Amino acid sequence: MTLASPITVLVVEDHPVVRFGLVALIDSQPDMKVVAETGEGREAVLVYSRLLPSLAVVDLRLPDLSGVDVIAGIMHAHPDARIVVLTTYDGDEDIHRALAAGARGYVIKAMPHDVLLSALRTVHAGGRSIPTPVATALASRVPFAELTSRETQILELITRGMSNKEIADSTGITEGTVKCHVNVILGKLGATHRTQAAAIAIRRGIVHI
């Protein structure tokens, strides 16, 4: 009797201790094998193309590229790639961006390890794995007019507590222009003031601090 080939996995996680535990968990499964691991996003895209594993497990927070950029990069070169996100980010916008980029599974790190293993097997079999808490968060998402790159930059500075003058000095634009951007951002987020906009941005994963 010929044994089936194992599910080969690329692990993309920048925290060494977490990555060690994740690799150990996957390798303990009789039907899975980690073929590569990395904590760098750009390296992950290159390694995926070189090895073409069955699956990639990708964290959204990486030091050089965002996990969404890694997913998009892999999917651009390999449209049939199967990717599962494993992250602490549970905001609806984080989930939306990852799935829109091409991820087929989304698991929160606080979930039991059985949820991750089930997701890996489901996605490898051609399905999608969106646990109930993730699906609930995604269903609550209220689409908003997309922020421009400048608006996102200013929103991130707002979440750091910077004033309009400080933002102007930091970005090289006038304080009046910053004020105009802030008003547009408030409108797009449905916020009435800066503090509320910052809270919405952090909660939904539009920006991270």
Q: What's the topology of domain 149-204?
A: Arc Repressor Mutant, subunit A (1.10.10)
- Domain range summary for the chain, segments of one domain joined by +: 7-139, 149-204
Task: Please tell me the pTM assigned to this model.
Answer: 0.80
110-133 per-position pLDDT tens digit:
999 999 999 999 999 999 999 999
**What is the rounded radius of gyration, in angstroms, for the C-alpha atoms of the chain?**
19
Which tokens is 128 given?
């999608």
DSSP E strands, 59-149: 83-87, 105-108
- Give pLDDT tens digits for 48-86: 999 999 999 999 999 999 999 999 999 999 999 999 999
Assigned token pair, 17: 């201790």
Out of 3.40.30.10, 3.40.50.2300, 3.90.1300.10, 3.40.50.300, the CATH code matching 7-139 is 3.40.50.2300
Alpha helices in the chain (DSSP H): 16-27, 41-51, 67-77, 92-101, 113-124, 132-139, 149-159, 164-171, 175-189, 194-204
CB 58 within 8 Å of CB 72: no
> d(Cα 192, Cα 194) in Å, to the nearest integer?
7
200 neighbors 191 (Cβ within 8 angstroms): yes
pLDDT digits (tens, 9 = 90+) for 172-203: 999 999 999 999 999 988 899 999 999 988 88
